[in-house]
Amino acid sequence: MTDIVEQEEIVPTPVAEPEVDTSNLSDEEVQAASKGWTPDKDAYEAAHPTKKWKSAEAFLDAEEMIGSIMELKRELREQAKVSRELVVHNQRLAEMQKAQRLAALEARQLEAVEVGDTEAFKAAKEAYHKTEQEPTQILPPPPKSKEQIEEIKTFTERNKGWCNNSTTENTRMMEAADKVYDLMLTEFPGKPHTEILTLTENKVKELFSHRFVNEKRTAAAVTTSAAPVPTKTKHGWRYEDLNRTQKLVCDAMEKAGKTKAFYLDQLAGIYGPK
């Protein structure tokens, strides 16, 4: 599928359109005209041979859809940045934790030497070498299980009205679903797979809401966080002092069930106290 996160947007050179007399137009047509629509079908198609004239209603629907896609792209770019930062954070955290375990095992070896405990020294030394060989690289997620594959098939069948390549818009919806799904997996690592798929479906329906105006849907619950309250910490790290990317990572971890203090403690462990 087309990567709509990394794909560069091609901005066409605007074509000057003649001013539209709005005195005899409906409110909907006036709104469309303010965005470039013209009621003169013949003049429009003569000036744009490769395009087909749309009614004011269809024009506004298309504008809304394009706006939704642009907003999705912005969200996905931001979430991709958070995901990359989270990978770096977890990598540094893994390296720090390994160094701490090695230091503790080295201390156990020294303590065993001081008391003359040969067996304890051997055990600590063996554990030290074993820990030293452990990889700290964050491994990619495991392949999907048979159950998850079946759940995806069920998702596709349930949404077969748009989850296909029969039209350009359907293809865009599938691309959006693919990207949202990947982001949901990253943002909610502990959430059941069926819930991830439900969140993905709700987000796509929100972005392309004009396709589902007659469908009764349960809106996804949105939790708004209260304004951060300045907190005193023993290491000096505070949420309100984080940069924008760190705050986004902290918020993502909080959605996954962790606390702000948990993330701040990790930062202090990696970079030291403020």
Looking up tokens 């003169």 gives: 40
Structure tokens at 146: 């048979």
- Among 193, 212, 231, residue at a domain's last position: 212
Q: Which residues 6+ apart lie within 8 Å of 50 measured at CB?
A: none
Give the structural domain span for 252. Answer: 221-274
In terms of domains, do 84 and 122 share one?
Answer: yes
Closest CA to 186 of 81, 264, 91: 81
- Global pTM value: 0.44
Of the candidates 94, 125, 140, which is a domain's last residue?
140
Same domain, 62 and 98: yes
Residue 262: partners with Cβ closer than 8 Å, 6 or more residues away: 253
Q: Are residues 230 and 274 in the same domain?
A: yes
155: how many CB neighbours lie within 10 A of its CB? 20
Least Cα distance to 181 among 151, 222, 209 occurs for 151
Residues 42, 134, single domain; the answer is yes
The answer to the question of residue 177 being in a domain is yes
For the chain, what is the domain count?
A: 3
Residues 201 and 232 reside in one and the same domain: no
Q: Name the domain boundary from 100, 116, 140.
A: 140
22: which DSSP letter? -
Integer Cα distance of 4 and 102 in angstroms = 44
Shared domain for 50 and 130, answered yes or no, is yes
Note whether residue 19 is domain-resident: no
Per-residue pLDDT of the chain (274 residues; tens, 9 = 90+): 334 334 444 444 444 455 666 667 888 888 888 888 888 888 888 888 888 888 888 888 888 777 777 777 777 777 777 777 877 888 888 888 888 888 999 999 999 998 999 999 999 999 999 988 887 766 555 677 888 899 999 999 999 999 988 888 888 888 888 888 887 777 677 788 999 999 899 888 887 887 887 654 444 444 444 444 455 578 889 888 888 888 888 887 787 778 888 888 888 888 888 7
Residues 136 and 152 in one domain: no
